[in-house]
Structure 1
Amino acid sequence: MTAVVCFVLLLSLVAGSHAWRCVEGPTLNRAIQIDASKGQVVASTAYNQNFFLTGVSWTYLHGQRMKHITTGDTGTWGVTSNNQLYKMIGGNFTRVPGLSLSQVDAGGDGFLVGSTGSRAYCLRTGFARAFKGAGSVSWSALPAYSLKYYSCGLYGCWGVDTIGRVYHTRAVYSTNCGQTGWQVVSSSPKMKMVEAASNGLVFALSTDGKVYLRAGIYASRTQGTAWSNIPMCVAMRHLSYDLGRLWVVSNAGMIMFCMH
């Protein structure tokens, strides 16, 4: 039985309002990472090649190769295998001088966030939108926490530290990267990444490749109440959510999208 059939059969049998149905997405050889925002989907492969989804096929993004790519309100950004940051300007990736990052997320409302692998940073709106290839940018460091993955959405920002604990802050302000204070959300299961969507949904991926949705999130309770597992037939390595589709990449490099 193929992995695709396995996904469809399993998820079609999950009863109740929390059922998700997954189908195979457009084929991309050895995909490792995916990011979706405002109708756009980008992905990177094990060869550090980067692609943009056009209809049902992937369009290759020529130029600098990225190990991690993201798209959002501030544009399309990526980091290379040696942790250099780039922004796409005029169809080409342009080097952003300064801070070295291992992961970057453009899902915030006008600002950019990223991690060095042990510490998180924020780039306020004025710098993120205005950078056109010349000059420098100034990052604001997040004190105290060793966050290796950082993502922002409708109800604030979320992060995962180096030992798998999840953190949340209700708000990060785009004009100055000021924050309301971070709190530990959960230490079980241990997570390796968390993704906050523009509609308020929050997904996470555990260290053993299981997919979770944060239940009970509302405007008045932005941390939610518990992690709810979304069953998958195989272990996953990355995920992203946008416009009703949960995009997942398996450890084997297969891309799926799931709908509620």
Structure 2
Amino acid sequence: MLVLVACLRKLKVRSKQFCLILLDIDAGQGMVVLTDKNSSAFLLSRSSWSKLGSVSLKHVSVGPAGIWGVDQQNEVYKFVASDFVPTYGLELKHVDAGGQGQVIGVAKSDRIHCLTANKASSIKEIMHWSTSSVTDLLIYISCAPTGCWGVNAQQSIFFTVNLCLQSGSWNQVDGEAVNVEVGSDGNVFVVNRLGLLYERTGISDQVPQGTGWKKIEMSVKIKHASYDLGYLWLVTEEGFIVKCTK
């Protein structure tokens, strides 16, 4: 069972249960999307989940670039009108649509690829992605207009202000995490291998990568976090969704 919960520092059940088992969740542009164990995509409308399109997807992302997804074969899809349409040119296991209109993707090789805003807004099916030659390949990435954050297979955390990921632009940040999420306003959250949740502190225009981490005390272990417009969306290890107000 998947439960939508609202919380302020403590978890408080406030609404109905949904018969979903979650794979992942993403928030951006005032929207929240997720995929379930059956590879179905859903969009949150008020307090209920509506099925999004007809394509089976293992991962979805929403942001200024729109709604994008990846299926089990690592084929990339863009949501157009009322359904997901395939794009061709690159296979990716993870995409993020949260930057300044561009889409960032992670290939099976863990190499990072970038689709510029002009190309991402096109309705053409064939997409031409550029490649980042980062020293440490990344398994997970999240972008905002303020920059991109990533995590590699060794759980190291990286940051770049260069949204098209040019060579040598990534800087390692202190700490360890299995995934990282940055909101459109630059707020950053990570989850580590122990299921603990942390928020990045000290972020400013002068220090966009921040200066430290603040642990957010939770009564349950967290698997994934996503943040947008003052709301923090969490997925627990038991498959619950927790909605928090920052």
TM-score, normalised to structure 1, is: 0.86
Pairwise mapping of residues 209-224 of structure 1 onto structure 2 (< 5 A)? Answer: 209-224=195-210
Q: What displacement does 1:180 show? A: 7.2
Q: What displacement does 1:34 show? A: 0.8
Aligned residues: 240
**2:160 equivalent to 1:169:** yes
Question: What is the rounded CA distance, in whole Å, between the counterparts of 2:4 and 2:112 in structure 1?
Answer: 36
Residue aligned with 1:81, SS: coil
Q: Which residue of 2 aligns with 1:183?
A: 171
State the superposition RMSD in angstroms.
2.1
Q: Which residue of 2 aligns with 1:147?
A: 138
Structure 2 unaligned runs (5+)?
Answer: none
Structure 1 unaligned runs (5+)?
Answer: 13-19
**2:46 equivalent to 1:55:** yes
Per-residue CA distance 1:123-158 (angstroms, 9 max, x = gap): 11111011x2x4411111111221001111132111
Q: What displacement does 1:26 show? A: 6.0
Pairwise mapping of residues 1-260 of structure 1 onto structure 2 (< 5 A)? Answer: 20-24=9-13, 27-28=17-18, 29-117=20-108, 118-130=110-122, 132=123, 134-143=124-133, 144-173=135-164, 178=166, 181-186=169-174, 188=175, 190-260=176-246
Seen in structure 2, the aligned counterparts of structure 1 residues 219 and 227 have a Cα distance that, compared at 3 Å, is same
Question: What is the rounded CA distance, in whole Å, between the counterparts of 2:16 and 2:173 in structure 1?
Answer: 34
Question: What is the rounded CA distance, in whole Å, between the counterparts of 1:224 and 1:206 in structure 2?
Answer: 18
Question: What is the rounded CA distance, in whole Å, between the counterparts of 2:12 and 2:96 in structure 1?
Answer: 26
Displaced runs of 4 or more, over 3 A:
20-28, 177-180
Compare the two structures and name the one with the higher helix fraction.
1
Seen in structure 2, the aligned counterparts of structure 1 residues 252 and 167 have a Cα distance that, compared at 3 Å, is same
Residue aligned with 2:121, SS: helix
Seen in structure 2, the aligned counterparts of structure 1 residues 253 and 162 have a Cα distance that, compared at 3 Å, is same
Question: What is the rounded CA distance, in whole Å, between the counterparts of 1:205 and 1:159 in structure 2?
Answer: 12
Compare the two structures and name the one with the higher strand fraction.
2
Q: Which amino acid aligns with 2:111?
A: R
Residue aligned with 1:126, SS: helix
Question: What is the rounded CA distance, in whole Å, between the counterparts of 1:244 and 1:23 in structure 2?
Answer: 18
TM-score, normalised to structure 2, is: 0.90
Residue aligned with 2:118, SS: helix
